[in-house]
Chain A
């Protein structure tokens, strides 16, 4: 235990809640804090505690476009939570520790690129902000994000859907049975990034056995194949058998072994709402595993109530592993087909519902399938909610965009502004690291 292995950014935000009785409220990490402190984990020589920073708007705007602006949609808690993820990233990049766990609130993986309000308890995507910070500050290229929350990480998927350098893997309880109702196998990334979005919808009732099947035969081999520069774990903990918002059957041991095998460089807490019966044990298990310590003694008092996996569940897990392995093996072919089919531009239209804010958003997204870069993206968004009507036109220039795409993105924004159909016009220029209001 000579080297400090794990950096822990622990920020329970004891003075922040979405609303008093909301699952995302003050005491969500209270019992976790009690357990961590009582164990004496913070005194272990291989664990070092870090304080979060306050994220800058510049950090947020590399990912998000807030309509009308981010500052009216978020609180200081969001800046601290994102700053917690950034502090975790810095600690690893400065090699002060081997890996870090940002155990912070509020969570972020349902927050998409365009933000009109809060959805799935998330307003800004703290992992995505951290990833773009890593790219801008440390020049990190290939990133893999493994989302282990029970809910599909639709926000993170959205942010990186057109980015071939970010592999987004999400396993989750099947979207037909759980919020947000996405994360199906046909969502694989837009043609230029086809295959770098890998969804693994699992049947309700999946246990440690099923999860580790998926991990061993699908997730770890795919990671090995993709060879990322860094692995991020979007560490939601609501697959636990006692979680009130979902129906899976993972234990603290299952999570700890997952963390042990995944060996993520940085883990960022997402959901997990069994605050009393699961979180203290799951979090301690993950911390021990990430610190390279013995986690075999972390066992929930009510472990006897954890269901066993049915044979039907086992069969469908085997089937999905096989189907996804095939997709991964043939993704180049699938990509060529998709590009050929789409032509010069790929586009989609979507409705996005903000459950926490009661907002309906309509989006039209267009990506240029550029042969030289990952292509610029334009988004037309309009939203209805309690506030009335909001609309915006956004052109996004990716990192490493070719000159043609850079110019075309501005041209598109000017053209839209001239037409005047929307209230606001933005160019998110990732190459020059700024968000411009036209």
Chain B
């Protein structure tokens, strides 16, 4: 039995899934000042429902990291960077770094060794810090200097935690890795306290099962690994919903999913039955990071969106003043419009009609104004879908073939989940001329997603046959190539082995893997090919822990 929990802005949802069936669902208000309280309340309810205390897996999607950042419950981090030559990065970071000399070049060559006395000076500079983050340019090509500095710091000040850029992400982008390493350090203590509290509470209730935490890319991390990389646990709410849809999504054609909640609509794009990833990492507190995430867009339109007149135009959202008037709210909302028209049955219909009457201009019926409000909401959603599609199409590509073929996604279907979906999705589908699908249990899609999300991992293997080495930054590996004629195929086989190793270390099941980047370039000296530079990035395919035919 899988247990999934999603701590949302308003509600904390829980589901128990057994043999591809949902056997318990819980919805309980989120207790923002003590997240543990609502999590345990949801778990207790599921245990009561199912009479089961042994779970195959307990997976958690939580706002703990996001909240830590928003509420500024973050630690001071001693940030040491090795930028080498290039852009002056220091003003682009969320915190003033200490710059250490020493650098690795783009081929992974050790050009200048870092100086121990500078690192000692950095320790003095950050004397009040118990947590450090270290990041070096091109450390993903050779992480030895990052490790060297970490060793020196460990020896000198014995900090509680050190985040290394190349371990946080194996992809190029020094700026993003540095930001990721910094935030990882900044939320480390808070997340670890939370993790310990969750484990203790489960133990005291006699509930058994390995605990996982959801990532922004929809994968799950064993709690022990998440303790080292807590920044990965940010923005998991929308990811959970996307995964929930994946478990309920019967088509494999290009699609768009809309999770319409009370305040916002989260939009994601789909191809071949899987959500599309953002090419770049997510932004944290306004800073670009290497945290992998789905390509999502969130707009301020939801069931509780406030409807009002502004300069002769009917406006909807992003403001929200509480629930619909039909259920005792004080201002007209989109939900009232849907109830008044009869799209959904909920609360007191007369109150909803009154809400629309309040809005109606002279000579306008409540029905007309409700339609106008819904039109406005649908138009906002439609425009957001179009702009997300345009963003996806505008993603730069670096091969002639990709430009010529283009990247158009011709959406075939709309998938709708969330409280506002039943009323709004048919209208959006009509506007876009598409079919739609509203899966059952759409209200708790997030918790389902958390319950069934398959663990994912990715790593980047880069081989330089001229130098005779390959590196895997995530595993801190730099090794000689196993054979002389090393090909892209060899590289992907080797990457597969290392991914299996990484999966084992992280205690996750390897499952199906896929190559997400494969590049091979000849290195030529004079007019002779002297070797190759091969890069391949491999991931455990994101998905759900269900046989493909079993959908909810």
Contacts and interface: CB of A to CB of B under 8 A. Distances in A.
Interface in A24-58: 25-27, 30-31, 33-35, 37-41, 43-44, 49-52, 54
Interface string B237-272: 000000000000000000000000000000000000
B176 interface: yes
Contacts of A248: none
B480 interface: no
A39 B173 CA distance: 6
Given A14-B399, A30-B533, A35-B106, A76 B522 contact: no
Contacts of B404: 54, 76, 80
Contacts of A30: 521, 533
B89 interface: yes
A284 B137 CA distance: 14
A272 to B, nearest CB: 15
Contacts of B138: 38
Contacts of B505: none
Nearest to B528: A21
Interface stretch (B227-235, B355-363, B390-398): B390-398
Interface string B161-202: 000000000001111100000000000000000000000000
A15 B288 contact: no
Given A14-B519, A38-B137, A76-B404, A21 B398 contact: no
Contact of A297 (B88, B111, B521, B528): B88
A361 to B, nearest CB: 26
Interface stretch (A288-296, A321-329, A408-416): A288-296
B172 A34 contact: yes
A298 B138 CA distance: 15
Interface in B279-303: 280, 288
Residue among A16, A27, A52, A296 facing the most chain B CB atoms (10 A cut-off): A27
Given A14-B398, A44-B92, A31 B527 contact: no
A297 B174 contact: no
Contacts of A15: 399-401
Interface residues of B, number: 39
Given A13-B399, A27-B521, A52-B403, A38 B85 contact: no
A171 interface: no
B86 A298 contact: yes
A37 B403 contact: no
A222 interface: no
Given A20-B529, A39-B174, A301 B522 contact: no
B501 to A, nearest CB: 26
Contacts of A297: 83, 85-88
Contact of A76 (B111, B400, B524): B400
Contact of A299 (B85, B399, B529): B85
A300 B105 CA distance: 10
Interface in B367-421: 394-401, 403-404
Contacts of A27: 521-524, 533
A54 B396 contact: no
B177 to A, nearest CB: 9
Given A21-B524, A27-B521, A43-B175, A16 B86 contact: no
A30 B404 CA distance: 20
A66 interface: no
B89 A40 contact: yes
Interface string B5-41: 0000000000000000000000000000000000000
A35 B83 CA distance: 12
B107 interface: yes
Residue among B173, B174, B397, B400 facing the most chain A CB atoms (10 A cut-off): B400
Contacts of B174: 38-40
Nearest to A106: B400
Contacts, number: 119
Interface string A265-307: 0000000000010001100100010000110111111000000
B87 A284 contact: yes
Interface string A239-265: 000000000000000000000000000
A49 to B, nearest CB: 5
A298 B89 CA distance: 12
Contact of B522 (A20, A40, A77): A20
A223 to B, nearest CB: 28
B393 to A, nearest CB: 9
Given A34-B172, A40-B92, A276-B107, A293 B399 contact: no
Interface in A153-194: none
A378 B400 CA distance: 35
A11 B403 CA distance: 10
B339 to A, nearest CB: 44
A35 B175 CA distance: 12
A13 B173 contact: no
Contacts of B400: 13, 15-16, 75-77, 80
A13 B92 CA distance: 30
A13 B398 contact: yes
Contacts of A25: 522, 524
Contacts of A51: 394-397, 403
A26 B521 contact: yes
Nearest to A10: B396
Nearest to A302: B111
Contacts of B519: 14
B260 to A, nearest CB: 31
Contact of B398 (A12, A20, A31): A12
Contacts of B111: 301
Contacts of A39: 86-87, 89, 137, 174-175
Contacts of A14: 398-399, 519, 521
Contacts of A298: 85-87
Contacts of B288: 40, 43
Given A27-B533, A30-B533, A51-B403, A293 B88 contact: yes
Nearest to A11: B398
A212 B390 CA distance: 43
B290 to A, nearest CB: 10
A40 B87 contact: yes
A37 B524 contact: no
A40 B176 contact: yes
Nearest to B280: A43
A75 B404 CA distance: 11
Interface string B131-175: 000000110000000000000000000000000000000001111
22 contacts: A10-B396, A10-B398, A13-B400, A14-B398, A20-B529, A21-B528, A26-B521, A27-B523, A27-B533, A30-B533, A31-B106, A31-B107, A38-B172, A38-B173, A40-B175, A40-B176, A51-B394, A51-B403, A54-B403, A276-B106, A281-B86, A297-B83
Query: Nearest 10 pairs between A and B by C-beta?
Result: A40-B175, A27-B521, A43-B288, A294-B88, A15-B399, A299-B85, A21-B527, A39-B87, A38-B172, A37-B172
Given A38-B173, A43-B173, 13 more contacts: A13-B398, A13-B399, A14-B398, A14-B399, A16-B400, A25-B524, A31-B107, A35-B106, A38-B137, A43-B280, A51-B397, A83-B403, A280-B106
